[in-house]
Amino acid sequence: MKKIIISKELIQEGKNIVDGIYFPLNGFLKQKDLSSVLENMRLENGKVWTMPIVLDIDEKTKKRIASEEEIQLTNSKGEVIFLLKRISIYKLNREHFIKNLFGTNDKAHPGAARALKMKDFLVGGELELVKRLKEPHRLFYTPKETREIFKKNGWANVVAFQTRNPPHRSHEYLQKTALAEVDGLFVNPVIGRKKKGDFKDIHIIGAYKVLIEKYYPINKVVLGTLHTFMRYAGPKEAVFHALVRRNFGCTHMIIGRDHAGVGSYYGTYDAQKIFDNFSQKELGITILKYENAIFCKGCKNVIFEGQCNKHNEEEKISLSGTKLREKLQKNEGISEGFMRKEVARYLMNQKDIFI
């Protein structure tokens, strides 16, 4: 059987498929499914799915496997990790892919820039796991494991929070607002490749450990990692994130402003509006749409934007991951209104915290 060596990142994507994290996918997308996902935000069979999970190959590899029905996918050591069955090879329509996924073909968009480097052909097929490698992180759980954890904790309703940043007070406020409505919180940071200037994974996890230990109710929060890469696809990535958390067993998902966005490519609340295209039944998860949260010095508390009419705008601090990165890069002080002092201290004591 002919073999293809695939990257660690693609091996992880394959694991996400076979573990059920990317349900309803059963393999890398074939051409009709890819076109439907890009144009209709659904697989060809009508099931909601918004993210193209694909395996790209060059022309030389395409010619080598053109007559095959089944191939082996190996790591760089030559170990066979997957079988890819009933394969189908087709040419990547790069412009169509980029424009429909990201809504822009601007090369400055980090997701578009990555897609421009993809190889010219895609191979789809059904995946079968041959060898399970060591799990990528001790905080990684499969959907089977998270469902067992939630059941053991007695959580009938669980809210998920997606993040690629350490937690500032806005994040904490959204999480605790949601936690008041459900039994438990699943904080699920993305661990994997991100754009230059983003926080390193280890420090995102470290900061959350500090916050959860100091400021969250005992036995109400599970911290677990999602191993994939950021696409920065804004609204479509928000739906993808929600479907993944549904597969982990979450019943609710927090979607705030600029979810999975970058720069000014998407409107502030586009990631919330996109969910109007789907019924809650077909999504299988309840979306909690929250306004922007700010810190009001006059109120001495975090509030939703527009909630306070007593104090002027100068007393209101806008909170964001971008501003946090700027403050840390400039070695500026971080106020208690912006971030819990213990979390800020943790970050300021670390070296080389950015990618």
Matching residue, tokens 């609204």: 235
> CA 200, CA 312: separation in Å to the nearest integer?
36
Please answer whether residues 164 and 128 qualify as being in contact, where contact means their C-beta atoms are separated by less than 8 angstroms. Answer: no
> CA 5, CA 78: separation in Å to the nearest integer?
7
User: Catalytic residue among 165, 228, 247, 251, which?
Assistant: 165
Q: Within 13 Å and on the Cβ side, how many CA atoms surround 135?
A: 11
Q: Within 13 Å and on the Cβ side, how many CA atoms surround 23?
A: 13
184-191 and 226-227 strand pairing: parallel
Distances in whole angstroms, Cα of residue 285 to Cα of each of 21, 238, 253, 273, 312? 14, 13, 7, 15, 38
Please answer whether residues 317 and 297 qualify as being in contact, where contact means their C-beta atoms are separated by less than 8 angstroms. Answer: yes
> CA 72, CA 94: separation in Å to the nearest integer?
26
Q: Please confirm, yes or no, whether 331 is among the known catalytic residues.
A: no
- The CA angle 327-268-194, to the nearest 5 degrees, is 55
Neighbours of 106 (CB within 10 A): 12
Report CA torsion sign: 332, 338, 341, 346.
negative
Which residues, listed in sequence order, are joined to residue 316 by a DSSP beta bridge? Answer: 296
Q: Exposed (0-12), middle (13-18) or buried (19+): which is 274, by Cβ within 10 Å?
A: buried
Could you give the 3-state DSSP secondary structure of residue 304?
Answer: strand
User: Catalytic residue among 142, 146, 163, 251, which?
Assistant: 163
User: Catalytic residue among 100, 164, 169, 247, which?
Assistant: 164
> CA 321, CA 163: separation in Å to the nearest integer?
10
Q: Please confirm, yes or no, whether 312 is among the known catalytic residues.
A: no
Tell me whether the omega of the peptide bond preceding residue 24 falls within 30 degrees of 0, making it cis. Answer: yes
Distances in whole angstroms, Cα of residue 70 to Cα of each of 3, 23, 77, 127? 9, 22, 20, 10
Q: Please confirm, yes or no, whether 40 is among the known catalytic residues.
A: no
Q: Point out the residues that are catalytic.
A: 163-165
